Amino acid sequence: MFDFIRTHRRWMQFILLLLIVPSFMVVGVSSYETFVNREPELADVGEQQISRAEFDAAHRNQLEQMRQRLGSRFDAALVDTPAMRRQLLDDLIDQRLLAQVAADNRFSVSDGALRNTIAAIPQVQDNGRFSPERYRQVLAAQGLTPTSFEAGLRRDLAVSRVLDPVSATSRLPASVVDGIESAFVQQRTVQTRVFAAADYRDKVQVSQQDIQAWYDANKQQLEVPEQVQAQYLVLDEAAASQGVTVSDADVDSYYKQNQSRFGQPERRRLSHILIQVAPGASEDDRKQARQRADQIAKQAAANPAGFADLARKESQDAGSAGQGGDLGWVVPPTLQQAAGALSKDQVSGVVETPAGFHVLKVTDFQAGAVKPLAEVKDQITAEIRKQLASARFADMATSLTKLVYDQRDSLQPAADALNVKLRTASGITRTGLLPAGQSGADAASASPDAALLDNPRVRQTLYSPEVLRDKANSGVIELAPDTMLAVRVQQVKPAHVPPLAEVQDSIRQRLVSERAAQAARQAGEAALKALQEGTQAGAAPEGFGEARTLSRQDPGQTPRPLLEAIMGMTPPAEGKPGYAGVAMGPDYTVVRLERVAPGTVFSPEDHTMLSSQLSSAWGAAEQDAVVKLLRQQYEVKVLPAAEPLMQAQTPDAG
């Protein structure tokens, strides 16, 4: 057969051509292109598309930025949510849309505008002026060239011209700003009466049938998520310090080598007389100041006891002259050094510093002293132990890294070799630690190591395929420079609904709380109805607290739901209070509104700031509205291929 094909090759080519071309025409060129290019498109933006590859690249960059910002607290399962992904896709769509609008409308940026924008960047300035050398250095540090950076900046500036005019012209009318300010400072005097759910708990009855019915109807709420029981080793300073001993000889040697740290050098308390010399003074001025200082030095040396009076009269140091020139124990190093050879009550010659010419006197002296070894022995011992532990920690970390891989099915050999306790913890889920009541013995949430075990990196490692499925030792997890963990899954407990016997007490408490809250609300609503029907002027009925005045500007300790209810009440009629009710958690609060006052208006500066903030918010809202209109004009569509991607779980989530 193959001989026939080789002999009649031209005939076979013709037959294949007849078979392929019609099928190609039936299937279509577009199907062929789809077969060749399998990259799905997530959105249409005018005549352009956003591909899966573009989204994935932006998504990786976003997660990496979060990882760098959060460090060990980064948990992809918590931050990489469907809402975050949708927002990222919307951002990509808006960026592409605005770029297309800028291109279609031929928005451009002149070379002069580009130069001015670059010159205004603080990072490329030297003493407030643009520095070409620093500009090149900054770009090189980011892996950019001037050409690529300027092209990108020119594009961004052109895109900004689409929306900048919208926000630039956004100004709220003065009447609107005045109205908002009035509402913000308006004062309302109120009294409240709280119907607390706790007061009704004793009156609530819950039967076993009620508990059973709730259990049968709400099993999904009771489901305990998948959890693992883990063995783990902690290598930290405490582990590295274990067994470290410090000898008396080590302490004595350390003490002798560091005596300057355990004592106080000799000190001199100084007074001075200063003859100032202005910066940039002429040589003649300096000479005259020196001559005057020499004369004062001679007078002081002749009568050291009168130094304070002389300082009050002659010194040009306004800070010390009134105290007789006293500088205290802590003085500038130059003066302390100049007085180093002086004894108590001795006066120096003239000492020159950048401030001028000084005459010094030592008014007190403290000899150097070193604390005795017995007094600092514990401190020295702790410091030596910490140094030894630090060196030992590095060796133990290297050993741990090797040991966890030498025998992958157990951490015990590593624990034995390093003399570190092998610990056990249960109730570790993908997203956190279960309460002790749901975890059983060795609950991770009740462990001293709870913060370590709840670290996102530890949980992600425990639920990685190799550790979870194969129950193999993890690698070393470095949570901090002095804290490392190695973990191993000992047991996996699948998600389950606990039997009624285990949860009936918690169900009972839940039903009691719900029914007590319902009773409190019913009592509050009944009281509110009676008050509204019989509203009269006069003192507040029994049960209301003291009157207090509050505003949106100064709400005091008022909870937000209650504040919103108070500020939303209709001002009472003349001489009659108004009433309203609001549920806050399990309690119900009845509000009595007695009067409304205008409050104190803003200062001109605060009024201007409020107007600016409101205009900025209004401008942002107008920009959003313009983007929505542009989306309609350019027929932006999010394609079906995007929806599964919005719900997909990132690999980093474990």
What pLDDT, in 10s, does the model give residues 31-75?
444 444 456 898 998 888 999 998 888 888 888 888 888 776 777
337 lies in a domain?
Answer: yes
- % the chain with pLDDT above 70: 91
Phi-psi region of 291 (alpha: psi -120 to 50; beta: other; left: phi over 0): alpha
Q: Is 95 helix (H, G, I), strand (E, B) or coil?
A: helix
- Asked if the model's pLDDT at residue 340 lies above 70, the reply is yes
d(CA 6, CA 208): 88
- Asked if the model's pLDDT at residue 23 lies above 50, the reply is no
- Asked if the model's pLDDT at residue 199 lies above 90, the reply is yes
Residues 487 and 577 in one domain: no
Residues 348 and 434 in one domain: no
Q: Helix, strand, coil proportions of the chain in percent (round to 5)?
A: 55, 20, 25
d(CA 434, CA 428): 6
Residues 26 and 88 in one domain: no
Residue 188: phi and psi, rounded to 5, are: -130, 130
47 lies in a domain?
Answer: yes
Residue finishing a domain among 473, 493, 513: 493
Q: Give the tens place of pLDDT for each residue, 207-238.
A: 999 999 999 999 999 999 999 999 999 999 88
pLDDT of residue 537: 57
Phi-psi region of 567 (alpha: psi -120 to 50; beta: other; left: phi over 0): alpha
Across residues 120-147, what is the average pLDDT?
A: 84
CA 405 to the chain's CA centroid: 36
Give the chain's mean pLDDT.
85
DSSP state of 122: G
396 lies in a domain?
Answer: no
Q: Is 196 helix (H, G, I), strand (E, B) or coil?
A: coil
d(CA 102, CA 156): 10
370 DSSP β-pair partners: 263
98 lies in a domain?
Answer: yes
**576 and 596 in contact (C-beta within 8 Å)?**
no
Block residue for tokens 């620093």: 134
68 lies in a domain?
Answer: yes
d(CA 479, CA 473): 17
- Asked if the model's pLDDT at residue 28 lies above 60, the reply is no
The confidence band for 338, taking pLDDT boundaries of 50, 70 and 90, is confident
Residues 33 and 55 in one domain: no
Q: Give the tens place of pLDDT for each residue, 612-645.
A: 888 888 888 888 888 899 899 989 898 998 888 8
Residues 63 and 27 in one domain: no
Residues 153 and 209 in one domain: no
59 lies in a domain?
Answer: yes
The confidence band for 536, taking pLDDT boundaries of 50, 70 and 90, is low
Q: Write out the two tokens for 346.
A: 């001795």
617 lies in a domain?
Answer: no
Residues 48 and 165 in one domain: yes
Beta strand residue intervals within 339-449, DSSP E: 347-353, 356-366, 369-370, 423-428
Residues 316 and 361 in one domain: yes
Across residues 9-16, what is the average pLDDT?
A: 44
Please count the other Cβ atoms lying within 10 Å of the Cβ belonging to residue 256: 9
Residue finishing a domain among 447, 469, 493: 493
Residues 348 and 459 in one domain: no
Residue 375: phi and psi, rounded to 5, are: -75, -30
Q: Reading across the β-sheet that carries 477-480, which strands appear in turn?
A: 423-428, 227-236, 483-493, 477-480
Please count the other Cβ atoms lying within 10 Å of the Cβ belonging to residue 89: 21
pLDDT of residue 227: 95
pLDDT of residue 259: 77
Residues 26 and 85 in one domain: no
Domain with 313 in it: what CATH number? Answer: 3.10.50.40
The confidence band for 653, taking pLDDT boundaries of 50, 70 and 90, is very low
Contacts by 57-65, CB closer than 8 A, 24 or more apart: 58/88, 58/91, 58/92, 59/85, 59/88, 59/650, 62/88, 63/650, 63/652
Total count of domains within the chain: 5
**538 and 561 in contact (C-beta within 8 Å)?**
no
Residues 27 and 49 in one domain: no
- Asked if the model's pLDDT at residue 503 lies above 80, the reply is yes
245 lies in a domain?
Answer: no
CA 587 to the chain's CA centroid: 34
pLDDT of residue 538: 60
d(CA 363, CA 347): 9
pLDDT higher at 384 or 402:
402
Half-sphere exposure of 72 (CA within 13 A, CB side): 14
pLDDT higher at 13 or 104:
104
The confidence band for 380, taking pLDDT boundaries of 50, 70 and 90, is confident
Q: Write out the two tokens for 492.
A: 């996996």
Residue 586 structural domain: 187-213+504-597
pLDDT higher at 138 or 501:
501
pLDDT of residue 131: 85
- The answer to pTM > 0.75 is no
Residue finishing a domain among 493, 516, 533: 493
d(CA 297, CA 352): 13
Across residues 398-407, what is the average pLDDT?
A: 92
pLDDT of residue 535: 58
Q: Write out the two tokens for 366.
A: 């403290």
Residues 47 and 150 in one domain: yes
- Asked if the model's pLDDT at residue 271 lies above 80, the reply is yes
